[in-house]
């Protein structure tokens, strides 16, 4: 036999599950609680520290599976969000200030949630939630919810027409204009003055009859009704009326809720605007209660919602329009024109007439003239051009511009905006609008909700839009109403969720009218103020007041048991964060975004666009407008318009995650991955967006990938285990990527599915939480898997995996803040946050080493902690309680000088540790003991070949002894277990004869070599290195002295 020595270059290669003869020399069989540092060697991993308790007890049941999200707002503000459907006090979402701890507890922030938000967070599966934070706003997605439109529709098509007199002939020619109304025709209408306005006036005179005599009426702003004449009046629904004053100038007023523009804030806002109801305002009757006397409501067009009376006026008279002598067949024709100037005695001015049917019915209207139809145009529901539309009409008049040949545009809709407000024919302008009788509003209830950090540090959790609740019941005895969530089917049933209110005290609200009318006698679209009375699951009883001081109560009368009470609505809590309405086009030209057909699966921000994935599509908002997912005009496709792009893969590609990655958006389905970006060499716009297949890997999309430098790490399933791909851009092909399985050598290492991942670029660390999920919670959650990697000149130097285990820990979430890994975990005593610092070269303050205790915390002994009678020091008495622990926890106490202080007993009930002796004024580290384990593989000699280094498996290798190189170490232990024989243990304690550093009260940190006998065949012995002390160990290398005999040699 030949005596030889061979060595391992380092012990920093991490775990490998390959056969020992195929492992690299630096790889190990087992590596737990160790840190493979390239510059320090194999070290005991950094200790975890008790950052703080989240809460004790059972606010979250032990079987609960909360979802978590970390917010890194700045170095001074960091938050943890937790969502649990089963939270026992009804607060389904909690927020903790990670940087604010008091007496060992992480301070919980105040969260005010709306009922809609409470209903939205109704999944108990954490994988059903996705979060994305932009500044102070966090978007929360429940992947089980299907967004939809509300039942609101845009205005119905016009039951009105415009007659636009373009020109007239010379004074010597007859225009021969004939107006046909539902088949009835006028005689020829001519103009001797060669004026389009005069011709329009002649048409007006030819088809109008005299109005009925005025009759006294009164307006009532409380009931939103007018009283009708006391005698038999014959008034009916949809009749056209106007008003005069018998004396005075006190006209009644109505209000509308309109979008306004603030020059100061350079932004739009909504506010109530009041308008006069004067002699030029034509309105229509609705809800006429009787033909003799009675009351009625008013509206701008037949079938429209009632106007909102704001002021009653005085001496008001009603005039029924067009009831006098008119041409045969024109009795029901109502004509309205632009009012004349104050000094004029004419009946009208301008060259535009508005025609409608007195009973609100649709009608046929045509106009012919002696010039081949070039003098007069009629607009009812469409126009062939936009440029020739008149500049006079009535506010809100809708037209569809059909295939304008001058512009080759698709059809689009326009609406007239009057200079004088609703109900009056006047000058104004046309603006593009949405199609008539189309759904246009996204219902915020099932859309992502927002968590907003307020200026006072508290948080609001609410829907991103108008807040609404059904009026479920009314009580005219005590003038109260009961509201409920539209999603709730059992209002009033008991629940602990009574802390969640629909509306808070003094909230300003209004009543929306349902499609079948409002039967409660509450004025629609009028601002009221809320006073909450009582609250239960899904319902709330309130009173309404006219004033914000809650002194003038609204009297309510209605039929009990009605189903037509309407909805109580409130302005969005955050108007800048709402889901915008479709403002142009219809369902064909401006189709609904895909997320209204498929549930939203993820949310992110890409190229300053809020981005969702749903079904097989990526849906991106308008640039810079996170709430708008519609086109803003049908006249052209803008670069900033919203994007809704489908995958082009031939298979089914349900998209589940979206992650911004360099200049593209990485979007993953279960079996295919895409890159969303701009076409080659172009800026990213709605015109250049390109969704192309990048890879076809089978991946696990339960958690989002994590980024580290230019690499992205993506988990995938291996049955009962998980693997991880390293995803890197292909430098040769834009939009393509290379993938490397960095877990190829550990196929059965990461247990279960990945629940959380985090990455720290500066140390090249990826932390992975792999767990098994069961009906009673998770299992295998006391461990995380740590991947350490390093590249030099694009060549991988290190690719090391290790396992970190924690006592009595049920870990649920991971996140890196700076160099510290924060871990949310449930222990027997409650929920808490622990953290591990990965800063290179880290040592304790005032020391030359790091004390290795998990959940460690510093404790200064005060005089009150010592009991002279018993000669015992109790940690957790005078200085305040320690964190919660169990009697079975491996608690240890270490002085800052490295002295191990024996523990007399544990008082887990009061969270106290009892020591023997007087330890006043000392500073201790208190924590849990944990063990580093590194198992060496069976050793083989290696030889260089043309295909690389290979192990020599022929011959006999008898290992005599091993040598561990160490630096700045105090303790480790080597266990040698020959096959079928007793184990032998060899301890290194830092006490080196002649080392010159051993002293009482001083921790020896020494460097050198430690020899230990083996005397076994290479593949019949196990060598395990452990360190179960709080002291450091840095193993820089390992060598062996062996006898080798080669029986034969290959030729």
341 pLDDT above the threshold of 60: no
Contact 803, 31 (CB under 8 A): yes
Q: What is the pLDDT of residue 496?
A: 38
Averaged pLDDT for residues 171-182: 85
User: Taking Cα atoms as reference points, which of 896, 899, 893, 935 lies closest to residue 915?
Assistant: 893
Instruction: Tell me which of 258-267, 446-455, 606-615, 664-673 is least confident.
Output: 258-267
Instruction: Tell me which of 60-64, 217-221, 350-354, 1026-1030 is least confident.
Output: 60-64
492 pLDDT above the threshold of 50: no
Q: Which helix (H) or strand (E) holds 203?
A: helix 196-207
Averaged pLDDT for residues 391-407: 82
525 pLDDT above the threshold of 50: yes
Q: What is the pLDDT of residue 6?
A: 86
Interval 302-333: pLDDT, tens? 777 788 898 999 999 998 876 556 788 988 88
Return the percentage of the chain with pLDDT > 70, whole number: 89
Q: Residue by residue, what is the 3-state secondary structure of 130-180?
A: EEEEECCEEEEEECCCCCCECCCECCCCCCEEEEEECCCCCCCCCCCEEEE
Mean predicted lDDT score pLDDT of the chain:
86
Q: What is the pLDDT of residue 143?
A: 96
Q: What is the pLDDT of residue 500?
A: 60
Averaged pLDDT for residues 836-843: 88
942 pLDDT above the threshold of 70: yes
Longest dimension (CA), the chain: 133
User: Taking Cα atoms as reference points, which of 701, 713, 625 lies closest to residue 667?
Assistant: 701
351 pLDDT above the threshold of 80: yes
Q: How confident is the model at residue 221 (pLDDT cuts 50, 70, 90)?
A: confident
Question: Tokens 């508290």 — which residue?
Answer: 458
Contact 45, 836 (CB under 8 A): yes
Averaged pLDDT for residues 814-840: 91
Q: How confident is the model at residue 256 (pLDDT cuts 50, 70, 90)?
A: confident
Averaged pLDDT for residues 902-919: 92
Other Cβ atoms within 10 Å of 600 Cβ, number? 25
- Upper half-sphere CA count for residue 779 (Cβ side, 13 Å): 8
Q: What is the pLDDT of residue 563?
A: 53
d(CA 656, CA 509): 38
Q: What is the pLDDT of residue 517?
A: 44
Which of the residue ranges 487-501, 602-616, 698-712 has the most confident prediction, judged by mean pLDDT? 602-616
Three-class SS state of 236: coil
512 pLDDT above the threshold of 90: no
d(CA 298, CA 795): 79
Q: What sign has the CA pseudo-torsion 316, 317, 318, 321?
A: negative
Q: What is the pLDDT of residue 223?
A: 83
Interval 858-909: pLDDT, tens? 999 988 899 999 999 999 876 666 888 888 889 999 988 888 899 999 998 8
Q: How confident is the model at residue 518 (pLDDT cuts 50, 70, 90)?
A: very low
Q: How confident is the model at residue 402 (pLDDT cuts 50, 70, 90)?
A: confident
Averaged pLDDT for residues 908-934: 93
Instruction: Tell me which of 490-499, 875-884, 1019-1028 is least confident.
Output: 490-499
Q: What is the pLDDT of residue 488?
A: 38
Instruction: Give strand pairing partners of 83.
Output: 67, 93
Contact 591, 603 (CB under 8 A): no
Q: What sign has the CA pseudo-torsion 613, 617, 622, 623?
A: positive
The structure tokens listed for 286 are 């609705």
Per the model's pLDDT, the better-predicted residue between 494 and 474 turns out to be 474
Three-class SS state of 445: helix
Contact 715, 766 (CB under 8 A): no
Q: How confident is the model at residue 201 (pLDDT cuts 50, 70, 90)?
A: confident
Q: Which helix (H) or strand (E) holds 115?
A: helix 115-120
d(CA 255, CA 274): 4
Which of the residue ranges 207-216, 485-494, 508-517, 661-670 has the most confident prediction, judged by mean pLDDT? 661-670
Instruction: Enter the pTM of the model.
Output: 0.84
Averaged pLDDT for residues 533-559: 80
Give per-residue burial for 93-108: e unless 16+ CB within 10 Å, then b.
Answer: bbbbbbbbbeebbbeb
Q: What is the pLDDT of residue 816?
A: 95
405 pLDDT above the threshold of 70: no
707 pLDDT above the threshold of 50: yes
Per the model's pLDDT, the better-predicted residue between 358 and 51 turns out to be 51
């Amino acid at each position: 036999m030949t005596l030889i020595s061979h060595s391992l270059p380092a012990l920093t290669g991490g775990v490998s599950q390959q056969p020992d003869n195929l492992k690299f020399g630096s790889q190990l069989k087992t590596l737990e609680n160790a840190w493979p540092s390239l510059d320090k060697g194999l070290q005991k991993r950094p200790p975890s520290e008790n950052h703080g308790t989240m809460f004790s007890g059972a606010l979250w049941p032990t079987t609960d599976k909360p979802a978590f999200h970390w917010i890194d707002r700045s170095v001074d503000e960091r938050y943890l969000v937790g969502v649990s459907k089963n939270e026992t006090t009804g607060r389904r979402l909690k927020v903790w200030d990670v940087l604010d701890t008091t007496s060992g507890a992480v301070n919980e922030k105040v969260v005010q949630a709306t009922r809609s938000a409470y209903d939205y967070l109704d999944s108990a599966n954490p994988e059903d939630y996705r979060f994305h934070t932009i500044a102070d706003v966090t978007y929360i997605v429940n992947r089980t919810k299907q967004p939809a439109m509300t039942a609101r529709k845009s205005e119905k098509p016009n039951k009105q027409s415009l007659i636009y007199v373009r020109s007239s002939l010379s004074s010597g020619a007859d225009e021969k204009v004939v107006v046909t109304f539902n088949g009835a025709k006028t005689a020829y209408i001519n103009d001797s003055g060669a004026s389009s306005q005069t011709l329009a006036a002649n048409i007006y005179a030819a088809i109008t009859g005299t109005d009925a005599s005025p009759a006294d009426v009164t307006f009532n702003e409380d009931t939103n009704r007018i009283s009708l004449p006391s005698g038999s009046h014959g008034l009916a629904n949809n009749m056209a009326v106007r008003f005069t004053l018998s004396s005075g100038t006190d006209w009644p007023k109505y209000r509308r809720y309109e979008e306004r523009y603030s020059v100061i804030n350079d932004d739009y806002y909504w506010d109530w605007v009041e308008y006069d109801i004067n002699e030029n305002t034509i309105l229509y009757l609705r809800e006429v209660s009787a033909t003799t006397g009675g009351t009625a409501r008013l509206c701008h067009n037949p079938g429209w919602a009632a106007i909102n009376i704001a002021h009653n006026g005085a001496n008001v008279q009603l005039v029924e329009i067009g009831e006098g002598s008119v041409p045969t067949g024109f009795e029901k024709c109502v004509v309205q024109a632009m009012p004349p100037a104050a000094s004029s005695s004419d009946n009208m001015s301008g060259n535009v007439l508005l025609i409608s049917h007195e009973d609100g019915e649709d009608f046929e209207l045509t106009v012919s003239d002696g010039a081949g139809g070039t003098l007069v145009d009629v607009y009812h529901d469409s126009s062939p051009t936009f440029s020739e539309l008149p500049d006079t009409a009535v506010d809100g008049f809708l037209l569809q511009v059909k295939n304008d040949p001058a512009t080759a545009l698709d059809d689009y809709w326009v609406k007239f905006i009057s200079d004088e407000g609703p109900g009056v024919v006047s000058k104004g302008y046309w603006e593009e609008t949405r199609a008539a009788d189309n759904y246009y509003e996204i219902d915020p209830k099932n859309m992502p909700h927002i968590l907003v950090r307020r200026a006072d540090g508290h948080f609001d959790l609410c829907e991103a839009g108008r807040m609404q609740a059904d009026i479920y019941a009314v009580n005219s005895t005590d003038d109260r109403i009961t509201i409920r969530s539209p999603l709730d089917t059992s209002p009033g049933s008991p629940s602990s969720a009574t802390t969640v209110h629909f509306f808070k005290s003094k909230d300003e609200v209004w009543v929306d009218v349902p499609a079948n009318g409002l039967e409660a006698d509450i004025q629609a679209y009028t601002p009221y103020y809320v006073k909450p009375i009582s609250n239960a699951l899904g319902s709330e009883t309130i009173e309404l007041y006219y004033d914000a001081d809650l002194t003038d109560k609204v009297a309510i009368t209605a039929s009990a048991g009605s189903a037509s009470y309407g909805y109580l609505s409130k302005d969005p809590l955050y108007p800048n964060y709402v889901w915008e309405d479709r403002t142009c086009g219809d369902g064909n030209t401006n189709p609904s975004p895909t997320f209204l057909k498929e549930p939203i699966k993820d949310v992110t921000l890409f190229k300053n666009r809020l981005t969702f994935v749903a079904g097989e599509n990526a849906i991106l908002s308008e640039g810079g407008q996170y709430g708008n997912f519609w086109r803003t005009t049908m006249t052209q496709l803008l670069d900033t318009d919203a994007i809704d792009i489908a995958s082009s893969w031939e298979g089914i590609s349900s998209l589940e995650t979206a992650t911004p990655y360099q200049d593209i958006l990485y979007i993953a389905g279960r079996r295919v991955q895409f890159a969303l970006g701009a076409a080659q060499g172009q800026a990213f716009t709605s015109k250049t967006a390109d969704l192309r297949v990048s890879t076809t890997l089978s991946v696990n999309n339960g958690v989002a990938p994590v980024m580290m430098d230019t690499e992205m790490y993506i988990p995938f399933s291996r049955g009962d285990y998980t693997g991880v791909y390293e995803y890197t851009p292909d430098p040769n092909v834009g939009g393509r990527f290379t993938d490397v399985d960095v877990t190829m050598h550990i196929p059965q290492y990461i247990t279960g599915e990945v629940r959380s991942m985090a990455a720290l670029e500066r140390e090249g660390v990826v932390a992975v939480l792999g767990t098994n999920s069961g009906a009673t919670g998770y299992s295998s959650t006391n461990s995380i898997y740590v991947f350490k990697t390093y590249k030099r000149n694009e060549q991988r130097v290190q690719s090391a995996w290790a396992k970190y285990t924690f006592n009595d820990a049920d870990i649920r979430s991971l996140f890196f803040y700076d160099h510290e890994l924060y871990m949310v975990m449930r222990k027997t005593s409650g929920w808490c946050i622990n953290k591990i610092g990965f800063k290179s070269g880290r040592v304790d303050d005032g020391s030359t080493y790091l004390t290795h205790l998990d959940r460690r915390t510093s404790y200064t002994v005060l005089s009150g902690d010592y009991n002279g009678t018993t000669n015992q020091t109790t940690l957790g008495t005078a200085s305040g309680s320690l964190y919660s622990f169990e009697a079975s926890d491996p608690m240890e106490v270490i002085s800052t000088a490295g002295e191990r202080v024996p523990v007399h007993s544990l008082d887990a009930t009061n969270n106290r540790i009892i020591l023997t002796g007087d330890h006043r004024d000392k500073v201790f580290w208190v924590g849990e003991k944990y063990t580093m384990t590194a198992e060496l593989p069976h050793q083989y000699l290696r030889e260089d070949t043309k295909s690389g280094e290979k192990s020599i498996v022929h011959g006999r290798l008898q290992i005599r002894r091993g040598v561990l190189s160490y630096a700045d170490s105090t303790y480790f232990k080597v266990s040698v277990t020959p096959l079928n024989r007793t184990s032998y243990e060899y301890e290194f304690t830092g006490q080196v004869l002649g080392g010159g550093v051993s002293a009482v009260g001083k921790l020896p940190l020494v460097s050198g070599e430690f020899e230990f006998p083996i005397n076994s065949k290479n593949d019949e012995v196990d060598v395990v290195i452990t360190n179960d002390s709080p002291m450091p160990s840095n193993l820089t290398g390992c060598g062996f002295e062996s006898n080798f005999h080669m029986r034969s040699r290959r030729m």
